Amino acid sequence: MKKKVINDPVYGFIKLQGDLIFEVIEHPFFQRLRRIKQLGIADYVYPGALHTRFHHALGASHLMKITLDSLREKGHDITEVEYESTILAILLHDIGHGPLSHALEYTLLSGVKHERISSLLIHRLNKELNGRLSTTIQIFEGSYHKNFLHQLVSSQLDIDRLDYLNRDSFFTGVTEGTVGAERIIKMFDVVGNQLVVEEKGIYSVENFLNSRRLMYWQVYFHKTSISAEAIIIQAIKRAKELLSTGYQVYVTKALEPFFKREITEQCFIDELTLLEAFTKLDDNDIWACIKDWQYSGDRVLNLLSNALLDRRLFKTIIFSEAPDQDQQDNLRCDIERKLGFEPGESKYLCVSGVISNEAYVSTKNNIMILNKNGSLQDIADASDLPNIKSLSKIVKKYYLCHFKVK
C-alpha cells in the first residue's frame, strides 16, 4: 500500500496511506492546489501567511484520520470504504478553488461558488477513476446515509474549519486563533447518525467559535487585506472591460477562456472543455497578468497593478453603518479632478462594500451537545454558555477603499 509522509510544521509528521489517496494526491488537479494560496493576499499583512490549499487539504486529511480512528474506538462502525472515502472527501473539498479565491470568486466567474466546481471536479475525477469516488461524492454532497461523515467534512464545526483556523493562526502568527482541535476531536461522538460533541467539550467549542470570529476580524477582514483584494478585483474588472471594447490587454493562456465572456454555472455544463480549462488556473495566472499590466497603456490598469506590486494600497475606511453615497461620490470627484481621470475610470479607484461575520448560525445545522444524561441540546442553549447566543448575531461592517490622492 502506497503512503506519503509529509513534514507539516503545524502537526509534525503527517502520514497518508492507501493507493487511491496516493493516486488522488499525485493527480494534476490536486497538485494544482500547490499554486493556490489559502489566504490569497493576506501576506500583505502577515508575511508568513503563504500556505496553500494543498497544505490545508493534507492537514485536514490528517485530522480526519485521527477523528475517524477516535470514533471507531468509541464503537462506531465505519467501514474501510467509508473511512477512505471520508478522507478523500476532505482531501478534495477545496479542489474547486480558483486563483485568489475568495477574492476573485465572484469576479472571475459569474456567481459560481467554489463548492459547485469542487463537486463538478470530483465527478470528473470519479469517471477517470472508474467510480472509485462514488462514496466520496455522496459524503461530500451530503447524500450518504451516515450523515455525520458529511458533517465532518462540512458543517459549523467541521474538520475543514479546525484545520484552517489552526493553520492560518500558525502561519500568520496570530496565536489567539489557535483552537483545541485535538481536544474537540476527542469529544466528537455520533448519535443517530448525527455528529455531536460530548458535554465536557463545550468550552473548547465555545473557544473555537470565538477564535473563528477573531480570525475573521483580525485576518480575513483585515483592512489591508480588504484594500489589496479590492485592487485586484478592480484590475480584473478593468481588464475585462478593456477587452470587451477591443483594447489589447495581456492575459495568460489559461485565463483567456474566462476573460472573453461571462462564465456561469450553465457554461460548465454546456461546454465540457471549460472545466478542464479551469484546472489550468492558479494564482500565478493573476500575478502574471498584474506584472504585465504594470506596463499597460491604460492608466487605470497601470495604476492598479503598480499599486499592488509596490504595495501602495488603497486607503480603507471602516464604518459600522453604511456610509453615505455622497462620501464615495466626493472621493471619486477628487480623484477625477486632481488626477484627471474620467468617471468611467474613477469608479475603479474608489469602491465600497460590506463585510459580515456570523460566528454561529443558530437557525440551522446547529452544533449539538451530548449531555451526560444522554440528551441532546443545541450549544446555544447550553446553560453555561450565555454568550453563544450573542455569537449568533450577524455583525456587519461597511468599507470604502480608495486611491490616496496626495
Shortest Å, Cβ 336 to a second copy: 26
Q: Which is nearer to a second copy, 299 or 337 (CB)?
A: 299
**Which residues are within 8 A (CB) of 260 and not within 5 positions of it... i.e. 6 or more apart?**
243
Are residues 97 and 124 in contact, defined by beta-carbon separation less than 8 angstroms?
A: no
Shortest Å, Cβ 375 to a second copy: 14
Q: Which is nearer to a second copy, 8 or 241 (CB)?
A: 8
Are residues 405 and 339 in contact, defined by beta-carbon separation less than 8 angstroms?
A: yes
Q: Which is nearer to a second copy, 143 or 390 (CB)?
A: 390
Q: Which is nearer to a second copy, 175 or 248 (CB)?
A: 175
Are residues 298 and 249 in contact, defined by beta-carbon separation less than 8 angstroms?
A: yes
d(CA 15, CA 7): 9
Going across the sheet that includes 188-191, the strands are 188-191, 194-198, 368-370, 376-378
Q: How many residues does the chain have?
A: 406
Shortest Å, Cβ 55 to a second copy: 4
Shortest Å, Cβ 367 to a second copy: 16
Shortest Å, Cβ 386 to a second copy: 4
Q: Which is nearer to a second copy, 6 or 275 (CB)?
A: 6
Shortest Å, Cβ 215 to a second copy: 9
Q: Which is nearer to a second copy, 117 or 205 (CB)?
A: 205
